[in-house]
Amino acid sequence: MDDTSSLLADPEWLAHRYDEKDDSFRFIRVARRDHRKATFLTDEHLARAEEYVAIPRNRIDGSLFSRAPIHFIFHSAYCCSTLAARMFDLEGVAMGLKEPVLLNDMVGYRRRGADVQKLAQVLDLSLSLLARPFGHDQNVVVKPSSIANVIGPAILGMRPQARALFLYAPIEHFLASIAVKGLWGRQWARTSLIGQAKDQALSHRFTTEELLELTDLQVAGLGWLSHLAIFSRMQRKLGSDRVAFCDSATLLKNPLRTTEAFFGHLGISLEREQAEAIATGTAFTRNSKDRLPYSADKRQTQLDRTTESNREEIEMVAEWVRKLALEAGLDASPDSSLDLI
């Protein structure tokens, strides 16, 4: 086995980036313990990310691992999606990948006018590389960044056996999460919407002047609704057996029921004892970002505090978003198709 084959056979070599200039993939070594420590699979959270190995695409035989089981957790941001990805770190069963940058590269490549056929080939190989199972694991569950929602339909089209969860925060909770982050949160919302506009992924058409007139929270709300629109269309096309919705408040109500429902929806077998261990483990009891003690009550207390100090604006914008949803034939509070009650 040559060095390239040996590297590709080892899932600890994460397919981290795609370099379109020389048509190569960059791999960095990320052990399972490093996945657990990292909030996201970004340079900021990974040690020695600059120590990569570049392999030209034409030297990678994707057929060797292209049909390994892979499933997805898509999301609209600030909705406990990282918690959900951490649920799937169960040795011998599954591994959750938290926002691999490789899929962001696919979106950037698309925005820069990539040839459609080549983009499809690169995306297909990217999915194959991410699907390489760890050790005796049988499944990989990928939580892409919300940036990658626009290619969600293409991803599920390429992997007809893949299933997906779409997580979202109730609109008031989402707006409160943006507000509590102050200037940084509001700037993030505008940057995100600019990207969605470039992707032609907005749920509604606005002129430049109309967009400039929107408040920060209206911008955030429009971005939230635009993500929801993508997955509402996907669910109508593919069915709820492949694309299921869940909101963050429901997700946190009953950790054991959530664990069993999420694994069940993705078709991943789980023993009762394993489910109980996940439900009482760090995924649900430690904050995904700072690892401090975490619970549904703590999250709600923070949201209530933020909502109270921004109540008028949040209520007005939430109502505006619901009207936009109604105009577009969208449900702004889609029910989960999972058994979480």
Residue 148 within a domain: yes
* pTM, entire model: 0.94
Predicted confidence at residue 318, as pLDDT, reads: 97
User: Has residue 31 been placed in a domain?
Assistant: no
296: in domain: yes
At 27 the pLDDT is 97
Provide the 10 A C-beta neighbour count for residue 78. 23
CATH number at residue 131: 3.40.50
What pLDDT was estimated at residue 284? 93
Distance separating alpha carbons of residues 305 and 309, to the nearest angstrom: 7
Is there a contact between 133 and 11 (Cβ–Cβ < 8 Å)?
A: yes
| Host domain of residue 208 | 66-327
The confidence score (pLDDT) of residue 95 equals 95
Q: Which amino acid is at 304?
A: D
Query: How many independent structural domains does the chain possess?
Result: 1
Q: Evaluate whether residue 285 is within a structural domain.
A: yes
Instruction: Supply the pLDDT for residue 136.
Output: 83
340 lies in a domain? no
Residue 55, in any domain of the structure: no
SS (H, E, C) 147-186: HHHHHHHHHHHHCCCCCEEEEECCHHHHHHHHHHCHHHHH
Predicted confidence pLDDT, tens digits, the chain (341 residues): 468 989 999 999 999 999 999 999 999 999 999 999 999 999 999 988 899 999 999 999 877 775 678 999 999 999 999 999 999 999 999 999 999 999 999 999 999 999 999 999 999 999 999 999 888 888 999 999 999 999 999 999 999 999 999 999 999 999 999 999 999 999 999 999 999 999 999 999 999 999 999 999 999 999 999 999 999 999 999 999 999 999 999 999 999 999 999 999 999 999 999 999 999 999 999 887 777 787 778 888 888 887 888 899 999 999 999 999 999 999 999 987 787 75
Closest CA to 84 of 330, 264, 248, 280: 248
Task: Return the pLDDT at 84.
Answer: 97
**pLDDT for position 67:** 67
